[in-house]
C-alpha cells in the first residue's frame, strides 16, 4: 500500500530547477574526490523525529497530520508504520535509516512481551530492508522515555534500573546485529544529574563505565561487527549530561580503558549547546581518530535548546565536509558512519509533504558542502596556509622539540645566542574568511 501517493521519486534536476520536490545539488552518482556523492554522504533518515514526532512541545500537544496512524501504539500499527517509513526512504533515495528500539516497536506489559514485540517488528524491518536495499546505519536503545529511567539508566541510583537497561541494550544489540546495523549508538539520555546535593558523582560515572564494558563484552560474545558510538551532549534533559562534549567523552573513554572500543557520533545542535562549533567538535574527534558518524541538524541562534532543525547553512555543511574529507570520509571496510538527519520539521510544518521538503533541503545543503569542501581542498587554500604557518616547526629548533631532542637547557642556549624570537606573522583570519567566500557564494 502506498502512503505518499502524490509524491514521485525525488530526482536530481540541477541547480536551476524550481521543483520543490527535486534535488538541485544532490546527484547521488556524481563523482567527487573519486567517490560518488552517495558513497561520501551515506545519508540516513531517523525514525524518531520523522515517524514518531508528533509536533508536541512544552506548550502544546502533538498536531502533526499523519494519515497512516490509527492512534494506537500497537504492534500492528508499528508494522504498518514500517511500510510507510520504507516508502519514504525509497522515494527520497536515502541508503540508510536509524532507530531507537522504542521508536519502531511498542513496550509490552513486561520485558518479555516488549522483546517479543521487538522481534515481530524487526522481522518486518528486515523484510523491507531486503525488498528495498535500504540499510540500517545504527540502532540504539531508548533508555530515557519510560518513567523507570527518571534517574537515568546506567547511572541510576536504582540498581534494578541499571539491570533493566542492560537487558534492554542486550536485546537491542541482538536486533541491530540481525538487521546488519553498521553501528550502535549510545546517547546519554538521562545519564547526568540535575543537582549535586543528591548525587554520588563518582559512583554514577563508575557505573556508566561498567555499563559500557558490559556492552563491549556482549558485542564480542555475539560477534557484532558494527562500531560502537557515543553521542556527546552537554545538557538537556539533565542540567549536566555526563557525555558533555567530544573532549570530555574522549577523556572518559581513555580514563576507563574504553577508547579502543568506541568512536563518536557528533551532533551539530549538541556541539552548539556545549558552546562549541560543529567544526570544533568534528576536528577534535577526528584528531583523536574517533570521528565515526554525524547527526546532521542545527540549533537556533535565538533559542537555547536542542531544536534539531534541518541543516540549510552552506558554511556549516562545508565546514563539516572539510573535516570529514580531511580524514578520508566516514566509511570504512566494515561499513562506517554516515550523515543522519537527527532533525525534525517545525510544529507549523505538520503535513507529510513537509518531511520531504525538510530532507531534500538537508541533503542538498550537504551536497553543496561536499562539493565546496572538495574544491577548497583541491586548490589547497587552507592547507597551504596552515602548512606555511607552522613552517618554523619543520626545521631547526622546532623540529628538535617535536622529535624530543631539546631540553629546557637547549632552549635556553639557543635563545641566549639568538637574543629574541623570530618575528611573528599575521594569522590573516579575515583574508581567509574572504577566501572561503570565493567558494561559498
- The set of catalytic residues is 100, 103
Residue for grid cell 508528533: 54
Decide if residue 233 touches ligand XLS (CB under 6 A): yes
Q: Which does 140 bind (CB under 5 to 8 A by kind): Ni ion, ligand XLS, none?
A: ligand XLS
Smallest distance from the beta carbon of 265 to ligand XLS, in angstroms? Answer: 7
358 touches 385 (CB < 8 A): no
Smallest distance from the beta carbon of 271 to ligand XLS, in angstroms? Answer: 11
Q: Which does 204 bind (CB under 5 to 8 A by kind): ligand XLS, Ni ion, none?
A: none
CA 49 to mean position of chain CA atoms: 14
β-strand partners of 32 = 35
Smallest distance from the beta carbon of 394 to Ni ion, in angstroms? Answer: 40
Smallest distance from the beta carbon of 407 to ligand XLS, in angstroms? Answer: 47
User: Which of 21, 167, 166, 42 has the alpha carbon at shortest distance from 98?
Assistant: 42
Cβ within 8 Å of residue 112, ≥6 positions away: none
258 touches 209 (CB < 8 A): yes
**What kind and span of H or E run contains 223?**
none
Cβ burial of 307 (10 Å; 0-12, 13-18, 19+) is middle
Cβ proximity to Ni ion: between 87 and 281 the closer is 281
Q: Which residue's C-beta sits nearest to ligand XLS?
A: 187
Q: Which does 28 bind (CB under 5 to 8 A by kind): Ni ion, ligand XLS, none?
A: none
Site for ligand XLS in 294-323 (CB under 6 A): 295, 306
Decide if residue 204 touches ligand XLS (CB under 6 A): no
User: Which of 353, 417, 324, 334 has the alpha carbon at shortest distance from 37?
Assistant: 324
Site for ligand XLS in 390-429 (CB under 6 A): none
Decide if residue 306 touches Ni ion (CB under 5 A): yes
Cβ proximity to ligand XLS: between 187 and 366 the closer is 187
Smallest distance from the beta carbon of 340 to ligand XLS, in angstroms? Answer: 8
User: Which of 293, 288, 431, 279 has the alpha carbon at shortest distance from 369?
Assistant: 279
Beta-strand (E) ranges in 252-373? 262-267, 291-295, 331-332, 335-336, 339-341
Cβ proximity to ligand XLS: between 94 and 373 the closer is 94
| Intra-chain end-to-end CA distance of the chain, in Å | 43
Smallest distance from the beta carbon of 269 to ligand XLS, in angstroms? Answer: 7
Give dist(CA 224, CA 226) in Å, integer.
Answer: 6
β-strand partners of 150 = none
Decide if residue 267 touches ligand XLS (CB under 6 A): yes
Region from 4-12, 197-205, 342-350, 421-429 binding Ni ion, contact rule CB under 5 A: 342-350
Cβ burial of 146 (10 Å; 0-12, 13-18, 19+) is middle
Cβ proximity to ligand XLS: between 87 and 295 the closer is 295
Residue from 99, 187, 242, 314 in contact with ligand XLS (CB under 6 A):
187
Size of the site for ligand XLS (CB under 6 A): 10
Region from 248-256, 301-309, 320-328, 330-338 binding Ni ion, contact rule CB under 5 A: 301-309
Smallest distance from the beta carbon of 231 to ligand XLS, in angstroms? Answer: 5
Question: Alpha helices of 93-110 — where are they, by DSSP H?
Answer: 101-104
Cβ proximity to Ni ion: between 279 and 381 the closer is 279
Which residues are at the interface with Ni ion (CB under 5 A)? 267, 295, 306, 342
Which residues are at the interface with ligand XLS (CB under 6 A)? 100, 140, 185, 187, 231, 233, 267, 295, 306, 342
Amino acid at each position: 500500500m502506498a502512503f505518499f501517493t502524490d509524491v514521485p521519486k525525488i530526482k536530481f534536476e540541477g541547480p536551476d530547477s524550481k521543483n520543490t520536490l527535486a534535488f538541485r545539488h544532490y546527484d547521488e552518482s556524481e563523482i567527487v574526490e573519486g567517490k560518488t556523492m552517495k558513497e561520501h554522504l551515506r545519508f540516513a533518515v531517523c525514525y524518531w523525529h520523522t515517524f514518531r514526532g508528533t509536533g508536541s512541545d512544552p506548550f502544546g500537544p502533538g498536531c502533526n497530520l499523519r494519515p497512516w496512524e490509527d492512534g494506537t501504539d500497537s504492534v500492528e500499527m508499528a508494522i504498518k508504520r514500517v511500510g510507510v517509513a520504507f516508502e519514504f526512504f525509497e522515494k527520497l533515495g536515502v541508503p540508510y535509516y536509524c532507530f531507537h528500539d522504542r521508536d519502531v516497536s511498542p513496550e509490552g506489559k513486561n520485558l518479555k512481551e516488549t522483546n517479543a514485540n521487538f522481534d515481530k517488528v524487526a522481522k518486518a524491518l528486515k523484510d523491507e530492508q531486503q525488498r528495498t536495499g535500504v540499510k540500517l546505519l545504527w540502532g540504539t536503545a531508548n533508555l530515557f522515555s519510560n518513567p523507570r529511567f527518571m534517574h537515568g539508566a546506567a547511572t541510576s541510583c536504582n540498581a534494578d534500573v541499571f539491570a533493566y537497561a542492560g537487558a534492554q541494550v542486550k536485546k537491542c544489540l541482538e536486533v541491530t546485529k540481525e538487521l546488519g546495523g553498521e553501528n550502535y549508538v549510545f546517547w546519554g539520555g538521562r545519564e547526568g544529574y540535575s543537582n549535586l546535593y543528591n548525587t554520588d558523582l563518582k559512583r554514577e560515572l563508575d557505573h556508566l563505565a561498567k555499563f559500557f564494558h558490559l556492552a563491549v563484552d556482549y558485542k564480542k560474545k555475539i560477534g557484532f561487527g558494527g562500531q560502537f558510538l557515543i553521542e556527546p551532549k552537554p545538557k538537556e534533559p539533565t542540567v549536566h549530561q555526563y557525555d558533555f562534549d567530544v573532549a570530555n567523552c574522549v577523556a572518559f573513554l581513555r580514563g576507563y580503558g574504553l577508547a579502543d572500543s568506541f568512536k563518536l557520533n557528533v551532533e551539530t545542535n549538541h556541539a552548539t549547546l556545549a558552546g562549541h562549533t560543529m567544526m570544533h567538535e568534528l576536528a577534535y574527534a577526528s584528531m583523536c581518530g574517533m570521528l565515526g558518524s554525524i547527526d546532521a541538524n542545527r540549533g537556533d541562534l535565538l533559542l537555547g535548546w536542542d531544536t534539531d532543525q534541518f541543516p540549510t547553512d552552506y558554511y556549516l555543511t562545508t565546514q563539516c565536509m572539510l573535516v570529514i574529507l580531511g580524514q578520508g570520509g566516514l566509511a570504512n571496510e566494515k561499513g562506517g558512519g554516515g550523515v543522519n538527519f537527527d532533525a525534525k520539521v517545525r510544529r507549523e510544518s505538520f503535513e507529510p509533504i513537509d518531511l520531504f521538503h525538510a530532507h531534500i533541503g538537508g541533503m542538498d545543503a550537504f551536497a553543496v558542502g561536499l562539493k565546496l569542501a572538495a574544491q577548497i581542498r583541491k586548490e589547497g587554500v587552507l592547507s597551504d596556509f596552515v602548512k606555511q604557518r607552522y613552517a618554523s616547526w619543520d626545521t631547526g629548533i622546532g623540529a628538535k622539540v617535536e622529535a624530543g631532542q631539546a631540553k629546557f637547557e637547549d632552549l635556553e642556549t639557543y635563545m641566549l645566542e639568538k637574543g629574541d624570537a623570530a618575528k611573528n606573522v599575521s594569522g590573516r583570519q579575515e583574508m581567509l574568511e574572504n577566501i572561503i567566500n570565493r567558494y561559498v557564494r
